A and B are shown apart, each in its own frame.
Chain A
Amino acid sequence: MSGNGPADDERTGTDDRADDADRPATDGGAAEESAPTESGPARFAPADRVESVPPSGIREFFEVAENRDDVISLGVGEPDFTAPWPARSAAIDSLERGRTSYTANRGMPELRRAIAKRVARYGQSYDAETEVLVTTGASEAVDLTFRAFLNPGDTVALPTPTYVSYEPAVRFAGGEPLPVHTRHEDDWALTPESLLEAGADEADVLVLCYPNNPTGATMDADEMDAVAAFCREHDLLVVADEIYAALTYEGDHESVATRPGMRERTVVINGFSKAYAMTGLRLGYAMGPEAAIDAMTKVHQYAMLSAPTTAQNAALAAIERCDDEVERMRREYDRRRRYVVSRLRELGIEVSEPGGAFYAFPRVAPIAPDGDARAFATELLEAEGVAAVPGTAFGAGGEGHIRISYATGLDDLKEAMTRLERFLS
């Protein structure tokens, strides 16, 4: 199954190395300064679809936050815990045993079986052989989904605010993003009304990310039923990014894929990064009907061959032996969540109840200069050394809000809230 290996290796070793000396050592912005070579214009002018994607909206915050040592960052989108020891130990063990080859394209069979068994707790049922694909992070699964199913010009309804990767991934795959506004007033749940208002009835695909980054919103059973009905009525495919499913604090995780008639039109994406604090191991998975997983596997097997073997071994141990650790982390996030929300509300800042993930998304419009979230975040960072991400980094729907990550120790959260209080007074 891994017969594509040599081709892959050759591809990464193409002919440009000889030019290294002439090229600036850094990437990105420096490219503009490099003089055109005798062979004409710069060789690496980005393709239009790449050019059309704006740079990340958090870059400048990152730079300021990294370069000041008094900064408390509430801007981190990954757990502050370390991966549980059994997972790390399994990674080490797999290396010691010399398991350094590719695995099956779809991932190790025993890992796929463990995944299929695990997601039963969300009411999901997938065949480990044909309906599960292990990917290099949930991010790869997102990318694969769009590449596998979008034809040029296909429309993808994207709730806003939402995680930053969907829109570029849609554009890279030749699709057209269609923003669908979710609202603070609805606790950021997606509703059939907002879908209709945005024209999503004409779209081809809908992306759902609940529990949501950046709002922390979850959708309850009724809300999910309503969205499912909309998708059936208007014949939408659904990409359900459920990476935060294990971090649900209020009620059970509700998956759109478990609604009647939805399994056959939904690809569910999940992974190990958030629940098991394994972001750096880059391991996720996609589940869906056989035809969907076949198409995604086709892209995956040429682009990636297989997800990292070491990480797959870690993930298997994570599923089998780390439930207690996951629960311990979940409970700690929950206490921080309550703490942060309480402090914000005591400061008179409106924040809808975040039922999952590790984010709160307070409304700062009334206290921000001209209601501008970005200006607010900049001033907060400069004046008090507290870094939070402006909501606009997550799309137009995030205006007037900032994202506060509570994947940070309680002591730092307390200090950050005290600084915020001082900033507001």
Chain B
Amino acid sequence: MDEATRSLIDALVADARESTADLARQTGLDEATVEERLAELEESGALRGYTAIVDWDATDEERVSAVVEVNVELDRETDYDDIARRIAESPAVDSLRLMSGDYDFAVNVSGSSMGDVSRFVSEEVAPLPAVTKTVTHYVMETFKERGIRFVDHDDDDRLSVTP
């Protein structure tokens, strides 16, 4: 990847709402080229979406999240991709990853109540033939999400003018 494209991605990761003009200023590309590169990155599947990071605790919406560890047993007809495709179908699944270590899949789930999340596990995950075990960990508090901190942290304590 060339440096300008890398900068473009960095800029979007920092703030996906950057205007095309500001992306151009930060990357040294002109605006038309920025649009072009973005289209290419979307096309190739490198840029999968632009979404908001929400601290639901700061709203009046009820939101419960959990990380579900899922163990599976593969057979001749079923591989990880098949199972993943099945689990990913549920809108309750925020992210789904195949892991190394003690379990196979880590599933980030959210719903409007613990009941919602439990139902997802008991009705949509556990009954799958390949699934041998699930462990559900409810999220108690979120401190940082995709690089954004949810807790107040130190203000800039530098002297305001220094040589």
Query: Would you call A204 an interface residue if the criterion is a C-beta within 8 Å of the partner chain's C-beta atoms?
Result: no
Interface pair A62/B25, CB less than 8 Å apart: no
Residues of B within 8 A of A336 (CB): 26
Query: Would you call A331 an interface residue if the criterion is a C-beta within 8 Å of the partner chain's C-beta atoms?
Result: yes
Query: Would you call A99 an interface residue if the criterion is a C-beta within 8 Å of the partner chain's C-beta atoms?
Result: no
Question: Closest chain A residue to B163 by CB distance?
Answer: A164
Interface pair B25/A343, CB less than 8 Å apart: yes
Query: Would you call B10 an interface residue if the criterion is a C-beta within 8 Å of the partner chain's C-beta atoms?
Result: yes
Query: Would you call B123 an interface residue if the criterion is a C-beta within 8 Å of the partner chain's C-beta atoms?
Result: no
Residues of B within 8 A of A387 (CB): 160-161
Beyond A331-B6, A414-B22, whether A338 also contacts B161 by CB under 8 A is no
Query: Would you call A298 an interface residue if the criterion is a C-beta within 8 Å of the partner chain's C-beta atoms?
Result: no
Smallest CB separation, A416 vs chain B (Å): 13
Which residues of B3-30 have CB atoms within 8 Å of chain A's CB atoms?
6-7, 10-11, 14-15, 22, 24-28
Residues of A within 8 A of B24 (CB): 342
Query: Would you call A73 an interface residue if the criterion is a C-beta within 8 Å of the partner chain's C-beta atoms?
Result: yes
Residues of A within 8 A of B10 (CB): 331-332, 335
Query: Would you call A393 an interface residue if the criterion is a C-beta within 8 Å of the partner chain's C-beta atoms?
Result: yes
Interface pair A338/B160, CB less than 8 Å apart: no
Interface pair B161/A61, CB less than 8 Å apart: yes
Question: Closest chain A residue to B156 by CB distance?
Answer: A80
Query: Would you call B158 an interface residue if the criterion is a C-beta within 8 Å of the partner chain's C-beta atoms?
Result: yes
Residues of A within 8 A of B160 (CB): 62, 65-66, 71, 73, 75-76, 387
Which residues of A389-422 have CB atoms within 8 Å of chain B's CB atoms?
389, 393-394, 410, 414
Contact of A393 among B26, B158, B163 (CB under 8 A): B163
Could you tell me the distance between the alpha carbons of A80 and B26 in the complex, rounded to whole angstroms?
18
Query: Would you call B162 an interface residue if the criterion is a C-beta within 8 Å of the partner chain's C-beta atoms?
Result: yes
Could you tell me the distance between the alpha carbons of A32 and B143 in the complex, rounded to whole angstroms?
53
Could you tell me the distance between the alpha carbons of A141 and B89 in the complex, rounded to whole angstroms?
62
Could you tell me the distance between the alpha carbons of A78 and B159 in the complex, rounded to whole angstroms?
9
Beyond A331-B6, A335-B10, A335-B11, whether A77 also contacts B25 by CB under 8 A is no
Beyond A331-B6, A336-B26, A339-B26, whether A77 also contacts B11 by CB under 8 A is no
Smallest CB separation, B135 vs chain A (Å): 29
Query: Would you call A26 an interface residue if the criterion is a C-beta within 8 Å of the partner chain's C-beta atoms?
Result: no
Interface pair B163/A77, CB less than 8 Å apart: yes
Most buried by A among B26, B27, B156: B26
Contact mask for chain B residues 144-159; partner A; CB cutoff 8 A; 1 contact, 0 none: 0000000000001011
Interface pair A335/B158, CB less than 8 Å apart: no
Question: Closest chain A residue to B158 by CB distance?
Answer: A76
A-B contact count (CB 8 A): 69
Residues of A within 8 A of B11 (CB): 335
Could you tell me the distance between the alpha carbons of A56 and B161 in the complex, rounded to whole angstroms?
11
Query: Would you call A163 an interface residue if the criterion is a C-beta within 8 Å of the partner chain's C-beta atoms?
Result: yes
Interface pair B28/A165, CB less than 8 Å apart: no
Query: Would you call A334 an interface residue if the criterion is a C-beta within 8 Å of the partner chain's C-beta atoms?
Result: yes
Residues of A within 8 A of B25 (CB): 338-339, 342-343
Smallest CB separation, B106 vs chain A (Å): 24
Which residues of A30-86 have CB atoms within 8 Å of chain B's CB atoms?
56, 58, 61-62, 65-66, 71, 73, 75-78, 80
Residues of B within 8 A of A80 (CB): 156, 158
Could you tell me the distance between the alpha carbons of A6 and B156 in the complex, rounded to whole angstroms?
38
Interface pair B163/A163, CB less than 8 Å apart: yes
Question: Closest chain A residue to B7 by CB distance?
Answer: A335
Most buried by B among A61, A338, A410: A338
Question: Closest chain A residue to B153 by CB distance?
Answer: A82
Smallest CB separation, A348 vs chain B (Å): 15
Contact mask for chain B residues 22-49; partner A; CB cutoff 8 A; 1 contact, 0 none: 1011111000000000000000000000
Could you tell me the distance between the alpha carbons of A61 and B160 in the complex, rounded to whole angstroms?
9
Residues of B within 8 A of A65 (CB): 160-161
Question: Closest chain B residue to A409 by CB distance?
Answer: B156
Interface pair A76/B162, CB less than 8 Å apart: yes
Interface pair B163/A338, CB less than 8 Å apart: no
Question: Closest chain B residue to A72 by CB distance?
Answer: B160
Interface pair B6/A339, CB less than 8 Å apart: no
Contact of B7 among A334, A342, A414 (CB under 8 A): A334
Could you tell me the distance between the alpha carbons of A207 and B156 in the complex, rounded to whole angstroms?
32
Smallest CB separation, B100 vs chain A (Å): 21
Question: Closest chain B residue to A163 by CB distance?
Answer: B163
Could you tell me the distance between the alpha carbons of A338 and B10 in the complex, rounded to whole angstroms?
13
Beyond A331-B7, A335-B7, whether A410 also contacts B15 by CB under 8 A is yes
Closest 6 CB pairs of A and B: A75-B161, A342-B25, A62-B161, A65-B160, A335-B26, A73-B160
Cβ contacts A to B, 15 pairs, < 8 Å? A61-B161, A62-B162, A66-B159, A73-B160, A76-B160, A78-B158, A164-B163, A331-B7, A339-B22, A339-B26, A342-B26, A343-B25, A387-B161, A389-B163, A393-B163
Interface of B toward A, CB cutoff 8 Å: 6-7, 10-11, 14-15, 22, 24-28, 156, 158-163
Interface of A toward B, CB cutoff 8 Å: 56, 58, 61-62, 65-66, 71, 73, 75-78, 80, 163-165, 213, 331-332, 334-336, 338-339, 342-343, 387, 389, 393-394, 410, 414
Sample of 13 more A-B contacts, CB < 8 Å, known A62-B162, A335-B7: A56-B163, A58-B163, A65-B161, A75-B162, A77-B162, A78-B158, A80-B156, A163-B163, A335-B11, A335-B27, A342-B25, A393-B163, A394-B163
